[in-house]
Structure 1
Amino acid sequence: MTVVDSMAVPSVLIAESDPWTRDLLKHVVLSVRCDVQLDVCEEGRQAFTLLSQKTYDLVIADADLPAMGGLDLLRTVRQRRSSPVRAFILLSDRSDIASVREVLPLAPTAYLTKPLDIGGLTRRLQGLLLSAGQEVLCGVPGLAPGMTLIRFLAQHRATSDGAPLMIDAEAAVRHSIGPVGPDLALLEQQVRTDPQISAVLIAAANSAARHPVSPAQTLSQALQSLGPGRSMNLVLGLTLKQRGQLSDPCLSDYAEQQWAVSRRAAGYAYALARMLNLDHQRCYCAGLLHRLGDLAVLRCLQEWQLAGGALDTRVIDESLAEFGAAYGSALRTRWRLPLELRELIAAIYHLGGGVYSREALVMNLVGQMVKLTTEEEISELANCKTARLLRVGTPELLRLIQAPEGCV
């Protein structure tokens, strides 16, 4: 094992085709050394080109990269006499003896099988990227001269990491280990109320790199598609992202309010859809995710504040009103959440023209239910077009609204 010079900033190349695994690897590396010079790519030819242009201290590559596999990439690197790579970690889905024997003559620094052992990978990276006792601290970059909050939020809309975590994700993973190992049912029970975790797992299950036969539209479907190991990797990966949890008390209070609305909408949607013999799990998920954009704005406001920007309740309210919907739409599109799920989320806010499903009607009614404050308003809601189409009257609405949140 070679350790980089403690005076130098190491350079790392990550080559991984799956965007969510690539993002996980990126944040594991940054959690070990935040100042690392990091390049990422999604296929072998890109990695080969980068290796021809630059010397890296460490390469992390998947064995099954498109265009040029990680094994061929490692073979090419080892044959090169000039500008050698100091360390090379090869990732693979295969752990059979033949696959391991094929790799050994090329002397990889490590051959790691998926799903990854995040703790083990972190310890390896600490040995490769840090000298003994070394600690690297990175501050938050200051705001560019003349930067305004409106411009800051507009610039970050396309690159937002999403919502802050609303539960203790590490504890959730710990509590999901059953007597015989990771338990998907326990994991779902632990994380099902967190919008960020649900959205990320659904997005990862539908990743183009996985070529799903049918899209996962609920957390349960996503967990079954990903499997226990990969699911837990992704959940733990979210805890590694910088400022993934809100530290400012005021922003945390706003996030709790948005989360409460999300959970209430999810509960109403679940119960109403179940009452009408519709897809209650998908409706629950749509309700839970409908404030994802607002939560993402709050996380971005934390970045603004840490960079030196001023913040008060008026500014927070205005930012949510102006950017909440835009951030949510951008995230759902960029993460490629299934169109059917996105349509249900959109129905919470308004119904478009043309024909719409009964599930969309449920979500539209739920969107109105979460705004109710008095019993008189409930009676008025029972007379609206959406309630009439669903044949849901005042008694049913009262029963749904008065039910405890945990009933679902």
Structure 2
Amino acid sequence: MHVLVVEDDPSMQELLASLLKGIDSQVHIYRADTVAAGINFWRKHPIGLVLCDLNLPNQESGLTLVKTIREKNAKLPIVMITGSGDRATVKSSLQHRVNEFIVKPFEPASVMERLQRYFDNDKTTPDHAPKCGKSLESFISDVDAVLARLTLLPGAEAALQTLNRDDKPSALDLAQQWQNDSAITTRLIWLANSSLMRRSGRALTTLREAISAVGVDMALSQVLALSLANKNQLRQTKLQALSEVYAEQTQKLAESAALLAKQLRVSVANCYTAGLMVRLGELATLEAIQLYLDSGGEATDEEIESAVQKHAAHYGNRLKFKWRLPIELRERIGATYATTQGEVKPELLLMRLAACLSSNANHTAEQEKLCSRLGIKIQELPPG
């Protein structure tokens, strides 16, 4: 089945995606965080079920999406997600032929049971997708047009936007927002008790304690890591395999950068975040290729590898501009590939050193030179 999830909260998106995957591991999930993006997906793909939040950003209502769909399709199942189950809300939605409601907060097992019947009754198949009519190279070369059609890494974009805000949420705010997300909770509690972050002998067991211990910036970076490593949007085997490779590479680089940052007493979260972003272009290209395949296109494994190698840098640069990444973050990401001859900023030098360590465990002349410039002994380097 192809399911459209229209929800602006990244953690809720992830939870719903997990529930859908639990019902059917082969489900195709399209994610949108605005009415316009939702309508775009519905028009271009053989959607068999819509899950839509009632209240969306900029005072948009999910009912706008419902009205648009119902003008063309009276039978498509639409499930409304809302934080308000009052009579007026229910009555208004039923008038627009919403099939049923999920009221937040909810029990995941109960929601899975309710959604199961839509999968049992599904009549759509991937064969309904229109043929693309273009080669992979022709399709993927139009970077701006492709990016405009993707709901690309929504959790990553949201985490980055929050990271870059001056008025960041408190540990309590984040704990309340993520309390129903088991993946985030598990990761943050593990991190808070790890050797990288642990500052006391007492084990931390709650989400709020973990966020307070690691700090808001590092907590948001962990959500970024989970979002970038999420391969739910990718259904083709080769794309999934490449996604796993890139996720492993960036995680290794981010951890090396964080250990060096801790050793040199610079911002651990800043360096960790930059490490995670190094393969952003590759991940974006993979999702672009999936969009091409969803449009009816075909590609061999060799063509996929070639497309990623050729277009990743361009996709990465366009996304950095689209997401308005701060210049400092772009510099840290760029430093993983090379630093200038006269570079003296410790954060940039350590990012390059972390990249060397994560890709080559053997000590090299470049590593020795970077250690010298940073004032550390090569024997003190963290493991690669």
Provide TM-score, normalisation by structure 2. 0.57
Q: Which residue matches 1:269?
A: 257
Letter in 2 for 1:154: S
Aligned-residue Cα RMSD (Å) equals: 5.6
1:154 paired with 2:105, answer no
Counterpart-to-counterpart distance in 1, 2:119 and 2:230: 21
Aligned ranges for residues 272-283 of structure 1 at < 5 Å?
Answer: 272-283=260-271
- Unaligned 5+ segments in structure 1 are 1-8, 51-56, 163-198
Q: CA deviation at 1:363?
A: 1.0
Q: CA deviation at 1:60?
A: 3.5
Q: Which residue among 9, 28, 34 is the counterpart of 1:42?
A: 34
Aligned in 2, Cα 1:303/1:260: closer, same or farther, shift over 3 Å? same
- Unaligned 5+ segments in structure 2 are 43-48, 185-222
**Deviation string, structure 1 residues 170-223 (Cα, Å, up to 9, x no partner):** xxxxxxxxxxxxxxxxxxxxxxxxxxxxx7544334568xx882289xxx9996
Q: CA deviation at 1:138?
A: 1.1
Letter in 2 for 1:366: A
Aligned in 2, Cα 1:212/1:324: closer, same or farther, shift over 3 Å? same
**Deviation string, structure 1 residues 57-101 (Cα, Å, up to 9, x no partner):** 978441466446568x79x98xxxx9997776443335xxxx624
Q: Tell whether the 8 Å contact from 1:283 to 1:344 is kept in structure 2 after alignment.
A: yes
SS at match of 1:326: helix
Aligned in 2, Cα 1:140/1:337: closer, same or farther, shift over 3 Å? farther
Q: Which residue matches 2:168?
A: 214
Q: CA deviation at 1:348?
A: 1.5
Aligned in 2, Cα 1:89/1:270: closer, same or farther, shift over 3 Å? same
1:322 paired with 2:273, answer no
Letter in 2 for 1:247: T
Q: Tell whether the 8 Å contact from 2:8 to 2:32 is kept in structure 1 after alignment.
A: no
Q: Which residue matches 2:180?
A: 229
SS at match of 1:91: strand
Aligned ranges for residues 113-262 of structure 1 at < 5 Å?
Answer: 113-114=103-104, 120-121=110-111, 123-125=113-115, 127=117, 131=121, 134-139=122-127, 144-145=132-133, 147=135, 149-155=136-142, 158=147, 159=149, 201-205=155-159, 213-214=167-168, 224=175, 226-229=177-180, 241-243=233-235, 247-248=237-238, 252=241, 257-262=245-250
Q: CA deviation at 1:106?
A: 4.1
Q: Which residue matches 2:210?
A: none
Q: Tell whether the 8 Å contact from 2:139 to 2:292 is kept in structure 1 after alignment.
A: yes
**Deviation string, structure 1 residues 3-27 (Cα, Å, up to 9, x no partner):** xxxxxx99x9976555886798799
Q: Which residue matches 2:348?
A: 360
Letter in 1 for 2:257: A
SS at match of 1:278: coil
Letter in 2 for 1:151: S
Q: Tell whether the 8 Å contact from 2:343 to 2:349 is kept in structure 1 after alignment.
A: no
Q: CA deviation at 1:113?
A: 3.1
1:394 paired with 2:345, answer no
Counterpart-to-counterpart distance in 1, 2:257 and 2:83: 39
SS at match of 2:180: helix
Aligned in 2, Cα 1:15/1:23: closer, same or farther, shift over 3 Å? same
Number of positions where the alignment pairs a residue of Structure 1 with one of Structure 2: 318
Q: CA deviation at 1:391?
A: 1.8
The sequence identity of aligned pairs, in percent, is 21
1:92 paired with 2:43, answer no
Aligned ranges for residues 34-73 of structure 1 at < 5 Å?
Answer: 42=34, 60-63=52-55, 66-67=58-59, 69=61
Larger radius of gyration: 1
Q: Which residue matches 1:344?
A: 332
SS at match of 1:349: coil
Provide TM-score, normalisation by structure 1. 0.54
Q: Tell whether the 8 Å contact from 2:56 to 2:62 is kept in structure 1 after alignment.
A: yes
Counterpart-to-counterpart distance in 2, 1:91 and 1:311: 39
